[in-house]
């Protein structure tokens, strides 16, 4: 079973915090960034940080 954080907020049946944030941020009039685009940008940024971390760790291990 897969749980989606954006679907429900728990036992109360109210929307979860991420669902409310998504609605406020991505569904507002004039929004220029979609959730998919935000996820892609975040994924690329995190991948770049991981590569930089690997580079720094290698540089420290091999002075």
pLDDT-based confidence at residue 63 (cuts at 50, 70, 90): low
Region for residue 30 given its phi and psi (left: phi exceeds 0; alpha: psi -120 to 50; beta: otherwise): left
Give the pLDDT confidence of 1-51 residue by residue, as tens digits.
344 444 445 556 677 888 888 888 899 899 999 999 999 999 888 888 877
pLDDT given at position 32: 92
**Longest CA–CA separation in the chain, Å:** 56
**Mean per-residue pLDDT for 58-63?**
74
**Residue 63 vs residue 43, higher pLDDT:** 43
């Amino acid at each position: 079973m897969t749980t989606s954080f954006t679907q429900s907020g728990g036992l109360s049946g109210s929307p979860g915090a991420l669902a409310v944030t998504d609605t406020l941020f991505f569904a507002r009039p004039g929004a220029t960034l979609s959730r998919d685009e935000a996820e892609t940008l975040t994924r690329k940024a995190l991948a770049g940080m991981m590569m930089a971390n690997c580079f720094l760790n290698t540089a420290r291990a091999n002075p």
